[in-house]
Chain A
Amino acid sequence: MDLSLSDKHRALQDEVRAFVRTHGHKSPKLGGGRKRPDQKTRDWQKLLVDHGYVGRTIPRDYGGFGLEPDVLEAAVVASEFAAAGIYAGMTNQGISMLVPTLLEVGTPEQKKQWVEKTIRGEVIWCQGYSEPGSGSDLASLSTKGVLEDDHFLVNGQKIWTSSAHYADWMFLLCRTEPEASKHDGISYLLLSMQTPGIEVRPLRTMTGRAEFNEVFFTDVRVPANQIVLGRGKGWYVANVTLKHERSMIGNAEKMTTRLEQLITLLKERNLLGTTEYRDRLLKLQGEVLAWKAHNLRLLTEAAQGIDSGVKRMIIKYGGTMLGFRLASLAIDTLGTDGLPFESAGEDAEDDDATTWNIDYLYDVGLMIGGGSNNIQKNIISERGLDMPREPKVARA
């Protein structure tokens, strides 16, 4: 047990701090993500790529920094950026999901064509996975891709598609092999959002914002060579990405930041002297401390190449619930002062009360998106604890 940094990591920490001092003023504001990155954000992204704070382990041939993977380096960089309150780079699905997937299973041409542009923020991707009838049971998806000569003809509908309203390209799961079994009939295609036949309709959520879209496909022609790995391999390709799950990093920092904001809020409103509020805060402080320690353990295991199993599987469920409890106390601290709710819109900063309200509402979405909490509990119990699977119910 030793929480001090090695010389290598301390040197990196110094380097990042120097970078922050020199360039920090150029950082765009935190948050965002609901609109297309502006010039300032793209310039910042390029600066991060050039310094190796984004794409650090991506080969130089594909525009990255070409270093060996080192989870602790990533953690040092993330924590320095968080401490300085500056933007750690775009976290869109092209960067977090498509790039690692292409690096593992894409052709050299696909890597050459997409990786550098994507990490530099020049091409923005959206993810065409969920459908109205295929949420938790994603593999039941029914958007069709029919091979005709040199292209797939795509028809169907996607939903919950973040950033589709400004994305340039989409990575899409569709059913190309209707005769094959559920998981073996899916292919993973790349397509331009400019392709004729695509219609994007914003989907307003309970936060009052349109974080997602519905995307409709009517006879959309996708060149057959824009497939990743091959016909019927889409489910495998989609799951390759899961190995690159990085959501654990930053998760504890987010909770710590939120706890600190909450403490400030309670102080400002003179509620630390009221035991009902103070006790809730103290309990949450305990939970956040446990969560931070757990994340340190996961980080160590990741650095040592250990599969953390159930310890990792609990992160999404436990993290979203803890985040919601923190936001809930903020809402209760604000009381009736938190009821006026007026978002300043996409381009302006919201007042504190509205920001807490949006966190509070958005956290509900986090519990549902990317595998709902009930699905997470199935995963934790069945895969993590090796409990028996549900008996299959005969199909009607």
Chain B
Amino acid sequence: MEFALSEEQRLFADSLRDLLTDRVTIDALRRHADSGNGFDPALWDELTQLGLPGLLVPERFGGAGLGVLDAAVAAEALGAAAAYVPFAGSIVMATLAFIHGATEAQQDEFLPRIAAGEIRFGVGISHDGTTATAAIDSGVPTHLLMYLPDGTAAVLPADTATIQTHRSIDRTRPVADIRFDPANATILNAANAPLAAMHRVLDTGRIVLAADTFGAAQHMFDAALAFVKQRTQFNRIIGSFQAVKHQFADMVTVLEPCRAMVWYAGYAQDALPDEARLTALQTKAHLGDIGRDIARMTTEAHGGMGFTDLLGLHYWFKRISYNRQMLGSPEQCREEAARLQGWA
């Protein structure tokens, strides 16, 4: 038994972090927030060279063939950097939709292009079969992955649909309302149980967003801790005040177990089918709540500067807020967990 990241996973996370630290500077983040659309072609190209789009694509289709835990590790790094990269929907959910729901021919047509970084998916859930609101990764997608009411997945070129993009509270990641004609779509119809396949894709998206929130929250925590160790008031380092110290003790006590929880949920998706759904839903819900608490307390710890645009901490605050609502808020995820266990 070994509950830890492998050497390869750590090295991959390190190289991703290094790249993101270098490219997603606070100035670049600010520029993208002011004028970007959720997609930076130059950054995407570099991440493609690192193999990010093909992370979950099976090796025979040109990918790395890795698992959900690896996706969670990558998402943590993206969240820590507040990187404007379409990942949860465009890379992870779309890849898994093809793996779990597509015919061999459909896989052959799309998966190599996902791995090569050539196509990107906005992902939405349609309750009426022709529209979807708040689709994820829908800034400038090349394709759309729309889940239909019966759980089957419809894939269509983005230019065949009407995409109304809204800037979101997280200025680096828009959301979109989509109107599409299923007649234009390729239906992924190889899944024996389309609803189960859809749940698997959605749950994985939830884990990836939870991991992203964890990375963002840990970044905010580290920044706040560094700040209170150097800021002086009343002739004292403010981090020496017990009220401040105890707040940080409270934060680390709830935040640190979240890392293991995200790992567990990622591992369970691929290795523990009986626990996979419950842990995914609970992890998304738990990280939504803990993420909000950490975002608030770490902003508070920075004092007035924390509230300013100048410091830029709010990008992470808003990223956590976006992740909380996307693909199921804590309330919705817990309600689904209740139904899953026959409690509701």
CB-contact partner of A377 in B2, B229, B250, B334, under 8 A: B250
B80 within 8 A of partner (CB): no
> Are the C-beta atoms of B257 and A296 separated by less than 8 Å?
no
Chain A, residues 1-23, CB within 8 Å of chain B (1/0): the string is 11111100100000000000000
In the complex with contacts A272-B343, A278-B344, A279-B334, A3-B1 CB distance below 8 A: yes
> Are the C-beta atoms of A380 and B239 separated by less than 8 Å?
no
19 contacts between A and B (CB under 8 A): A1-B6, A1-B69, A72-B1, A281-B343, A282-B285, A282-B337, A282-B338, A283-B289, A289-B261, A289-B286, A290-B261, A291-B257, A293-B260, A318-B253, A380-B252, A381-B245, A387-B228, A387-B240, A391-B236
Please measure, in the bound complex, the distance between the C-alpha atom of A114 and the C-alpha atom of B282, giving whole angstroms.
48
Give the distance to chain A from B235, nearest Cβ to Cβ, in Å: 10
| Across the A-B interface, the 6 shortest Cβ-Cβ residue pairs | A294-B257, A381-B245, A293-B260, A388-B240, A377-B249, A293-B264
Please measure, in the bound complex, the distance between the C-alpha atom of A385 and the C-alpha atom of B264, giving whole angstroms.
25
| Interface residues of B, Cβ cutoff 8 Å to A | 1-6, 9, 69, 225, 228-229, 236-237, 239-240, 242, 244-246, 248-250, 252-254, 256-261, 263-264, 267, 271-272, 278-279, 282-283, 285-286, 289, 334, 337-338, 343-344
> Are the C-beta atoms of A4 and B1 separated by less than 8 Å?
yes
CB-contact partner of A300 in B1, B237, B278, under 8 A: B1
A311 within 8 A of partner (CB): yes
CB-contact partner of A378 in B69, B242, B250, under 8 A: B242
CB-contact partner of A3 in B249, B252, B272, under 8 A: B272
A176 within 8 A of partner (CB): no
In the complex with contacts A282-B334, A377-B245, A378-B245, A384-B252 CB distance below 8 A: yes
Please measure, in the bound complex, the distance between the C-alpha atom of A220 and the C-alpha atom of B317, giving whole angstroms.
62
Q: How many residues of A contact B (CB 8 A)?
A: 50
Please measure, in the bound complex, the distance between the C-alpha atom of A125 and the C-alpha atom of B279, giving whole angstroms.
43
Please measure, in the bound complex, the distance between the C-alpha atom of A304 and the C-alpha atom of B289, giving whole angstroms.
32
> Are the C-beta atoms of A1 and B3 separated by less than 8 Å?
yes
Chain A, residues 372-390, CB within 8 Å of chain B (1/0): the string is 0010111011101111111
A352 within 8 A of partner (CB): no
Which partner residue on chain A sits nearest B6 by CB separation? A1
In the complex with contacts A3-B3, A282-B334, A283-B334, A388-B257 CB distance below 8 A: no
A364 within 8 A of partner (CB): no
Please measure, in the bound complex, the distance between the C-alpha atom of A281 and the C-alpha atom of B344, giving whole angstroms.
12
CB-contact partner of B337 in A285, A293, A391, under 8 A: A285
Which partner residue on chain B sits nearest A3 by CB separation? B1
Chain A CB within 10 A, most for which of B236, B249, B263, B338: B249
In the complex with contacts A72-B1, A300-B2, A1-B279 CB distance below 8 A: no
Please measure, in the bound complex, the distance between the C-alpha atom of A279 and the C-alpha atom of B263, giving whole angstroms.
24
A346 within 8 A of partner (CB): no
Please measure, in the bound complex, the distance between the C-alpha atom of A296 and the C-alpha atom of B312, giving whole angstroms.
36
Which partner residue on chain A sits nearest B270 by CB separation? A1
Please measure, in the bound complex, the distance between the C-alpha atom of A374 and the C-alpha atom of B249, giving whole angstroms.
10
Please measure, in the bound complex, the distance between the C-alpha atom of A381 and the C-alpha atom of B248, giving whole angstroms.
7
Chain B residues with CB under 8 A of A293: 3, 257, 260-261, 263-264
Give the distance to chain A from B3, nearest Cβ to Cβ, in Å: 4
> Are the C-beta atoms of B257 and A377 separated by less than 8 Å?
no
A297 within 8 A of partner (CB): yes
Instruction: Known pairs A3-B272, A289-B278, A290-B286; list 20 more (Cβ under 8 Å).
Output: A1-B69, A2-B2, A3-B267, A3-B271, A9-B1, A281-B343, A286-B283, A287-B286, A289-B283, A290-B261, A293-B264, A300-B4, A311-B256, A314-B253, A374-B246, A378-B242, A381-B248, A385-B225, A387-B240, A388-B229
Chain B CB within 10 A, most for which of A1, A294, A378: A1
CB under 8 Å from chain B, chain A span 262-287: 272-273, 278-279, 281-283, 285-287
Chain A residues with CB under 8 A of B271: 3
A188 within 8 A of partner (CB): no
Chain B residues with CB under 8 A of A47: none
A317 within 8 A of partner (CB): yes
> Are the C-beta atoms of B249 and A294 separated by less than 8 Å?
no
Which partner residue on chain A sits nearest B342 by CB separation? A272
Please measure, in the bound complex, the distance between the C-alpha atom of A128 and the C-alpha atom of B152, giving whole angstroms.
68
Please measure, in the bound complex, the distance between the C-alpha atom of A389 and the C-alpha atom of B236, giving whole angstroms.
11
Give the distance to chain A from B187, nearest Cβ to Cβ, in Å: 35
> Are the C-beta atoms of B253 and A297 separated by less than 8 Å?
no
> Are the C-beta atoms of B343 and A278 separated by less than 8 Å?
yes
Give the distance to chain B from A375, nearest Cβ to Cβ, in Å: 11
In the complex with contacts A300-B3, A387-B228, A317-B239 CB distance below 8 A: no
Please measure, in the bound complex, the distance between the C-alpha atom of A391 and the C-alpha atom of B337, giving whole angstroms.
48
A349 within 8 A of partner (CB): no
Chain A residues with CB under 8 A of B283: 286, 289
Chain A residues with CB under 8 A of B5: 1
Chain B residues with CB under 8 A of A297: 3-4, 259-260, 263
Chain B residues with CB under 8 A of A229: none
Chain A residues with CB under 8 A of B272: 3
A147 within 8 A of partner (CB): no
Please measure, in the bound complex, the distance between the C-alpha atom of A310 and the C-alpha atom of B343, giving whole angstroms.
36
Which partner residue on chain A sits nearest B258 by CB separation? A290
Please measure, in the bound complex, the distance between the C-alpha atom of A123 and the C-alpha atom of B231, giving whole angstroms.
55
> Are the C-beta atoms of A382 and B69 separated by less than 8 Å?
no
Give the distance to chain B from A11, nearest Cβ to Cβ, in Å: 14
Please measure, in the bound complex, the distance between the C-alpha atom of A72 and the C-alpha atom of B338, giving whole angstroms.
33
Please measure, in the bound complex, the distance between the C-alpha atom of A291 and the C-alpha atom of B260, giving whole angstroms.
8
Please measure, in the bound complex, the distance between the C-alpha atom of A293 and the C-alpha atom of B242, giving whole angstroms.
30
> Are the C-beta atoms of A387 and B248 separated by less than 8 Å?
yes
Give the distance to chain B from A52, nearest Cβ to Cβ, in Å: 20
